Structure 1
Amino acid sequence: MYELKTKENDRSVIEFIESVEHPKKREDAYKLLDIFTETSGYPAKMWGTSIIGFGSYHYKYASGHEGDAPFVGFSPRKSNFSLYFATGDTKRDELLEKFGKHKSGKACVYINKIADIDVEVLKELISQSIAFLQETYSNQ
């Protein structure tokens, strides 16, 4: 059976951020940590080796695949920041139109730096994602 590699663990979020080489990226990582913590109301936890997640939910798909994931999160990657929000939420697309300079994939939104985005829209994305996932997975 498939085992998820990205699980919540006890690694230090601060030590992980301190390991980010570029000073400006590290500074932005601390800003994101503050924004996500304050907006989500959840403490930051490491998920796998490189994702900082907030809160968690249990999902189970029709295929039988199930697991746990953070409601929202981010990762300071070498080339950009990966931001993790709920997929399948139509409000996400509306908010991303007002978000600022970004690229989006199926599960991630990528930004280069905080200065490129609207922080208030980021806060809305965090809140909306958590509300959507809580509603979607509350009775599983």
Structure 2
Amino acid sequence: MPTIWTDVDPGAYLDAVTPAVRRRDADTLRDLMERVTGEPPRMFGASIVGFGEYHYEYASGRSGDAPAIAFAPRKAATTIYLPDGVGAHEERLAALGPHTTGVGCLYLKDLERVDLAVLEQILRTSWAAVTSGTFGQRARES
């Protein structure tokens, strides 16, 4: 079975992230996600830092493998990927602090302005849902 991971070194990738606030936030997220998952960071594609993996299979028959939890430090904001969808975390997101969302993405501009304990709860809940062995739906269905 082919791997979903690239050979890019996540440490080297994160060391080169700009601007400085994204690099700082990336270091914080790497440590937080590693603690939540017990998994080392690995690169999924050229710019997504992932932890663990899960297999999905949709009703359409489409299936594949993806990181169980991941983030990408982008110039405008850091993207946190929540495969179980942001809808599964509505109550906690209300207490998180400044953020925006997409269907399965949480966008944060500055981790110093959010409640990291709430973020950790969101990540733990998402990790548990996605790695339970029973998750297979799309984020928009959550």
Confirm or deny a common fold (TM above 0.5). yes
1:107 aligns with 2:104: yes
| DSSP-derived class of the 1:78 partner | coil
For 2:55, which of 34, 55, 58 is the aligned residue? Answer: 58
8 Å Cα contact 2:39/2:51 also seen in 1? yes
Q: 1:137 Cα deviation (Å)?
A: 3.1
| DSSP-derived class of the 1:54 partner | strand
Q: TM-score normalised to the size of structure 2?
A: 0.86
| DSSP-derived class of the 1:8 partner | coil
Q: 1:76 Cα deviation (Å)?
A: 0.4
| DSSP-derived class of the 2:98 partner | coil
- Aligned amino acid, residue 83 of structure 1: I
- Provide the rounded CA distance (Å) in 2 between the counterparts of 1:67 and 1:93: 27
For 2:128, which of 123, 126, 131 is the aligned residue? Answer: 131
8 Å Cα contact 1:11/1:46 also seen in 2? yes
1:19 aligns with 2:25: no
Equivalence for 2:140: none
1:38 aligns with 2:32: no
Q: 1:49 Cα deviation (Å)?
A: 0.6
- Taking every aligned residue pair, what percent have the same amino acid on both sides? 35
- Provide the rounded CA distance (Å) in 1 between the counterparts of 2:10 and 2:94: 30
Can you list the C-alpha shifts for 1:9-62, whole angstroms capped at 9, x where unaligned?
221001111121222321221111111111121111100111001100111111
| DSSP-derived class of the 1:109 partner | strand
Q: How many residues align?
A: 132
Kindly report the root-mean-square deviation, in angstroms, between the aligned alpha carbons of the 2 structures. 1.6
| DSSP-derived class of the 1:137 partner | coil
| DSSP-derived class of the 2:59 partner | coil
Q: TM-score normalised to the size of structure 1?
A: 0.87
Q: 1:72 Cα deviation (Å)?
A: 0.8
Q: 1:100 Cα deviation (Å)?
A: 0.8
Gap change, CA 1:70 and 1:17, over 3 Å in 2: same
- Aligned amino acid, residue 137 of structure 1: F
